[in-house]
Amino acid sequence: SMILSQMILSQSLVVGLLTTPHTRRWIPRPNPQAAVTVYQEPELYDLAFCYRDFEGEVDFLFKAHERHADPPRRPDSVLEIAAGPARHVITAATRSPTSFRCLALDNCPEMVAYGQGIATELGVPLQYLKGDMADFSLGADGVIELTNGGGGALLVDSVWCLLGSTAHLLTGERFEGMLRSASAALSPGGTLILEMSHPRETFRLDDVTEEGWDVPFGDNPLGLGEGDCILGIQWGSEDDVFDPMTQIKDTTVEFTVARGRKDDGDDDAPDESHQQDVTYEDVHVVKQVVPQRAFTPQEVIALVRLSGSFEAPTFYGAMEGDPFVEADDLENAYRLVAVLRRK
């Protein structure tokens, strides 16, 4: 059965995102058993996070860079690491001059192909390559090979690691590797912006964090008539185990696609009643246990100091920039966003 929605989605937001390239329909793969992780289903992953306000979050990212960069100005180039569908950097490119340079990096080949496809259809000159966010380089024999024509490394103004992707760095050494790689890719005075889970989620004393929400999609996303689908997302389970020694939680993630089938009834009945008489059956399920590491602000500060490449981080409590939300705001802070300036 489908997951009860715990997250209210704006209808206009859902319709707008589901009608953009690569997000309107989900086409089952010839061999559905080949997808053993949720990250190998990039279309579903993209749908799962369509509730995010990418326009507003890019506003924040631009403003945060301008506030902390030296010199303080809007970035002309961005690299998004562990980028998934790369929605943030693609959105940034669509709102920037044609000279804006955008790059993306992810370790999953399905995500790389999917994100590159979105960029191509939107006319965004994205360079998207497969690689490890804890070990990459620009203008070298590493993951991203990019030079300015003169043989030197072409550095970027800002590096973004969003949607809690630092949780995939399971050790302090891996986190430090990400800092070193990002520092080497940044121009002096550039910024590294990390969006992580807020400490209040990490140190909850009640039940393990569990979220579930539904996203309708198909030819008529809000009508949900015959043939339309619902994607159910479950992120976390009450049975998930958190190891306080390693700060790693084995997080259960499940995507369930249910397709609607109109029940037999009076063909002359009004359309409204037909919309009521739709039965949904699960047609595709991908379930995975994902180890995720929680990093506290104090750990981030210590690892940044150890790297020696960045100034002390400034923390915010949301990807919102007017005004900026303080990380310790008890009412409005729900994410931990670290902004670091390269020395």
Which of 188, 209, 214, 190 minimizes the C-alpha distance to 199?
209
Mean pLDDT of 321-327: 91
Provide the residue count of the chain: 343
pLDDT of residue 146: 47
Helix (H) or strand (E) holding 257: strand 248-262
Residues paired with residue 232 on neighbouring β-strands, in sequence order: 214, 256
Show Cβ contacts of residue 196 under 8 Å, excluding neighbours closer than 6 positions: 164, 166, 167, 295, 300, 335, 336, 337, 338
Split at pLDDT 50, 70, 90, the class of 227 is low
Per-residue pLDDT of 80-105, as tens digits, reads 999 999 999 999 999 999 999 999 99
Angle at alpha carbon of residue 194, lines to 188 and 200, rounded to 5°? 145
Burial 300-337 (b: 16+ CB within 10 A, else e): beebbeebebbbebebbbbbbbeebbebeeeeebebbb
pTM value is 0.85
Inter-residue contact 327 to 314 (CB < 8 Å)? no
